[in-house]
Amino acid sequence: MEVKSKSKPVDVLLGCIVAVCFSALCSAERLCTVPPGPVSVPENSTADVQVVKIISSSDVILTVTVNPEDLFYLKGNLLMAKKGLDYESLSTSALVVWVQCSRSGSRSVNESVEVLVENVNDNPPNFAQNHYMLDVNELIPVNSSVGLIEATDVDSEPLFYRLESATDKYFRLENINTPKILVKSLLDFDVVQKISLVLHVQDTFNGSASNEPFFTSVATITVHVKDVDNRPPWFQPCLRTNLGMAKLCVSSGYRGKVNLTEKEEGPLVLEPGPVFAKDGDKNRSEQISYRILR
């Protein structure tokens, strides 16, 4: 019993010390309270928008000690944003604001508020140019790429493309998200020399059918089909015809008469006319040479 009696004051003393320390800590911690977890704020919110409410008693003084890019201020116990936050111009989308809570006779406490700025689709996609020019040889194989024309969007949204053409039989896009222009069918300079295309880009899939905000942009493309030296000269006159994918111009030849017993001067008269050939490539002016084989 004596042992218990001697130890009791010590237990009480230790208990009082712990109670006092705990009370002091609790008092410091209760100076102000910030809701746990980050606070999300959409970009472009109007100025003087409330970010979070800091819970504190009326005798506690709140001070912003760390203010990223000077974007925040206190209005009573409300942490406010001075202006609309622009996601694209911020160095980071996670902003940490530190608030000091102080009261006379108490130890100051620092609380942090993590503000997450949410990216909003508020910028249109843009092409580097309004108009593009492409040169394509007429013999380019089907499914070959003739160019990749991409748009950029600072909102980093996935972009959706659509190719519009008055003669859409010649070109197509690789897919809706990859604006690589592929050859859809064989080109023929004799048939078409210039093709006009319009490339559309949109930052929201089927945006017009949804309630989401969306933006679009367009770029025009002119494709010049280049003639290639892929046909021989054709004697004239001739009848143009196709043999599979090949184009021919068939001549019936030339006819003439001579008298073996008479001497004649000058060029030989032939029907349907003098020997004459034109390059089978419509837009080429290659020099043609002739020789008698037999």
- Alpha-carbon torsion angle 267, 268, 272, 273, nearest 10: -10
pLDDT value at residue 10: 41
Contacts with 144 (C-beta within 8 Å, 6 or more apart), sequence order:
182, 183
Distance CA 89, CA 97 (A): 18
Amino acid, single-letter form, for residue 193: Q
Contacts with 24 (C-beta within 8 Å, 6 or more apart), sequence order:
none
End-to-end C-alpha distance for the chain, whole angstroms:
143
Residue closest to 68 by CA, chosen among 99, 106, 103: 99
Q: Given the DSSP bridges, would you call strands 109-118 and 151-152 parallel, antiparallel or unpaired?
A: unpaired
Contacts with 222 (C-beta within 8 Å, 6 or more apart), sequence order:
131, 132, 133, 134, 194, 195, 196, 197
Domains of the chain: 33-118 (2.60.40.3430), 126-226 (2.60.40.60), 233-279 (no CATH)
Contacts with 244 (C-beta within 8 Å, 6 or more apart), sequence order:
none
Per-residue pLDDT of the chain (294 residues; tens, 9 = 90+): 344 444 444 443 344 333 444 334 444 446 888 888 788 888 877 778 888 999 988 889 999 999 998 899 999 999 998 887 888 778 787 899 999 999 988 889 999 999 988 888 888 899 999 999 999 998 899 999 999 999 999 887 789 999 986 557 899 999 999 999 999 998 988 888 999 999 999 988 876 556 667 889 999 999 999 988 878 888 999 888 887 767 788 888 999 988 888 888 888 889 998 999 988 877 777 788 999 888
pLDDT value at residue 66: 94
Structure tokens at 229: 């030296």
